[in-house]
């Protein structure tokens, strides 16, 4: 349930509400918006609690939150969350463009990609040093050496880094290098990991699970938010359906649904959402038209020899073309692009 404070409520009255909530073993989470101050009550609430809280001085109203997810809901926080990371705002109007290789392979590969995506207008560098892998025999990442390479690329280009953390064991290590911690689809319901990542206080991007409903996804985000970390970004990366032509089915409807029911920003990942490089641009454009706060795209200097996800990776040239198309259409949908995109015609993508 949420406790809506009166406009005239004092700090002492707010403190008293928070104290009562913690006294009975629940936790209170503050949302101080422009319009109103709200306390979200999380834990096993009971009907008498509403009467008790309503009687306290400074309280305007006590409203049960109808949805199972609480802190991620728009009922708790009507204003959209904007996550700040290294000078980049995720959410709030500017389109965020995260780009880079699926996996860190070599310093040269990462540096050349970072330079190319930056020149084309990306504002966050992606790349996996710890890779989740369906087969234990395929490439699983360079580990800390990969993180060091990413940090070198950040130093040269100034682009903040997003990279995945796979296990609780590596949270501390990855958090030392990353600006945003990525929680992958396969770990969306790894609840202990969600909490540990939340406790770092760093921005977290939570990808949608392979077969997860929107409600399960938002409930997973609650584990991070409940640690007090409000810097959560969601990422739609496609879900498993009966269709086999594409690697996953990109659920474009999830984007407006998330904006309706939640205040968290949402990024679209058309690379994993399709598995095919030539579908990346059309899906990215569809996602932006549907209201996505940004995109995450895999880019590789030579996708044909990529150690991971080459089939869905864009060449530098195709990424530039995607950015040019985005520059044309983003303003129509109320977004601005982070930086310049190359001008000129939009030729057909090719490899």
For binding to ligand PEP (CB under 6 A), which residues are involved? Answer: 102, 128, 132, 184-186, 207, 237, 272
Q: Based on CB atoms, which residue is closest to ligand PEP, 123 or 163?
A: 163
As a whole number of angstroms, the distance between CA 328 and CA 69 comes to 37
Select from Mn ion, ligand PEP, none the partner in contact with residue 201, using the beta carbon and a kind-dependent cut-off of 5 to 8 Å: none
Q: Which residues contact 96 (CB under 8 A, 6 or more apart)?
A: 88, 89, 90, 123, 124, 265, 267, 293, 294, 295, 338
Select from ligand PEP, Mn ion, none the partner in contact with residue 154, using the beta carbon and a kind-dependent cut-off of 5 to 8 Å: none
Span interacting with Mn ion, options 4-12, 95-103, 176-184, 247-255, rule CB under 5 A: 95-103
- Under the binding rule (CB under 5 A), the answer on residue 102 touching Mn ion is yes
Q: How far is CA 201 from CA 176, 181, 297, in A?
A: 12, 10, 25
- Under the binding rule (CB under 5 A), the answer on residue 309 touching Mn ion is yes
Q: Which residue is nearest to Mn ion (CB)?
A: 102
Select from ligand PEP, Mn ion, none the partner in contact with residue 49, using the beta carbon and a kind-dependent cut-off of 5 to 8 Å: none
Select from ligand PEP, Mn ion, none the partner in contact with residue 306, using the beta carbon and a kind-dependent cut-off of 5 to 8 Å: none
If residue 231 lies in a helix (H) or strand (E), which one and from where to where? none
- Give the burial string for 148-183 (b: 16+ CB within 10 Å, else e): ebbeebbeebebbbbbbbbeeebbeebbebbbbbbb
Q: How far is the CB of 128 from ligand PEP (least distance, A)?
A: 5
- Under the binding rule (CB under 5 A), the answer on residue 293 touching Mn ion is no
Neighbouring-strand partners of residue 267: 235, 294
Q: Based on CB atoms, which residue is closest to ligand PEP, 186 or 199?
A: 186
Token pair 């549907």: residue: 290
- Under the binding rule (CB under 5 A), the answer on residue 179 touching Mn ion is no
As a whole number of angstroms, the distance between CA 23 and CA 27 comes to 9
Residues in 22-81 that interact with Mn ion by CB under 5 A: none
Q: How far is the CB of 69 from ligand PEP (least distance, A)?
A: 21
List the structure tokens of 301: 């200097």
107, 326, 98, 73 alpha-carbon torsion, rounded to 10°:
-170
Q: How far is the CB of 299 from Mn ion (least distance, A)?
A: 11
As a whole number of angstroms, the distance between CA 84 and CA 86 comes to 7
Q: Based on CB atoms, which residue is closest to Mn ion, 58 or 275?
A: 275
Q: How far is the CB of 206 from Mn ion (least distance, A)?
A: 16
As a whole number of angstroms, the distance between CA 321 and CA 111 comes to 20
Task: Report strand pairing: 37-42 vs 2-5.
Answer: antiparallel
Q: Which residue is nearest to ligand PEP (CB)?
A: 184
Q: Based on CB atoms, which residue is closest to ligand PEP, 2 or 98?
A: 98
Site of interaction with Mn ion (CB under 5 A): 102, 309
């Amino acid at each position: 349930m949420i406790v809506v404070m009166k406009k005239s409520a004092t700090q002492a009255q707010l403190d008293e509400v928070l104290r009562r909530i913690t006294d009975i073993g629940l936790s209170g989470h503050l949302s101080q918006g422009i319009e109103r101050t709200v306390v979200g009550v999380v834990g096993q609430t009971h009907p008498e609690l509403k009467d008790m809280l309503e009687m306290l001085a400074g309280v305007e109203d006590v409203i049960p939150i109808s949805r199972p997810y609480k802190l991620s809901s728009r009922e708790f926080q009507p204003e959209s969350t904007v996550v700040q990371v290294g000078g980049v705002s995720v959410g709030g109007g500017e389109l965020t463009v995260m780009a880079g290789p699926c996996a860190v392979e070599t310093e040269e590969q990462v540096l050349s990609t970072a330079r190319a995506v930056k020149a084309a207008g990306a504002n966050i560098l992606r790349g996996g040093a710890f890779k989740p892998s369906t087969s234990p025999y395929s490439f699983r990442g360079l580990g800390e050496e990969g993180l060091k390479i990413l940090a070198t690329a950040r130093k040269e280009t100034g682009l903040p880094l997003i990279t995945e953390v796979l296990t609780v064991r590596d949270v501390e290590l990855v958090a030392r290098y990353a600006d945003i911690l990525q929680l992958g689809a396969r770990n969306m319901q790894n609840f202990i990991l969600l909490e540990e990542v939340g406790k770092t206080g760093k921005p977290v991007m939570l990808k949608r699970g392979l077969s997860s409903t929107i409600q399960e996804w938002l409930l997973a985000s609650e584990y991070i938010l409940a640690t007090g970390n409000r810097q959560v970004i969601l990422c739609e990366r496609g879900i498993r359906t009966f269709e086999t032509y594409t690697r996953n089915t990109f659920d474009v409807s999830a984007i407006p649904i998330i904006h309706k029911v939640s205040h968290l920003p949402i990024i679209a990942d058309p690379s994993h959402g399709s598995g095919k490089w030539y579908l990346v641009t059309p899906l990215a454009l569809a996602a932006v038209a549907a209201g996505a706060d940004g995109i995450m795209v895999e880019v590789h200097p030579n996708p044909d020899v990529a150690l991971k996800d080459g089939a869905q990776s864009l060449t530098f040239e195709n990424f530039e073309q995607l950015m040019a198309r985005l520059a044309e259409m983003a303003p129509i949908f109320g977004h601005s692009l982070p930086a310049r995109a190359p001008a000129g015609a939009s030729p057909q993508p090719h490899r």
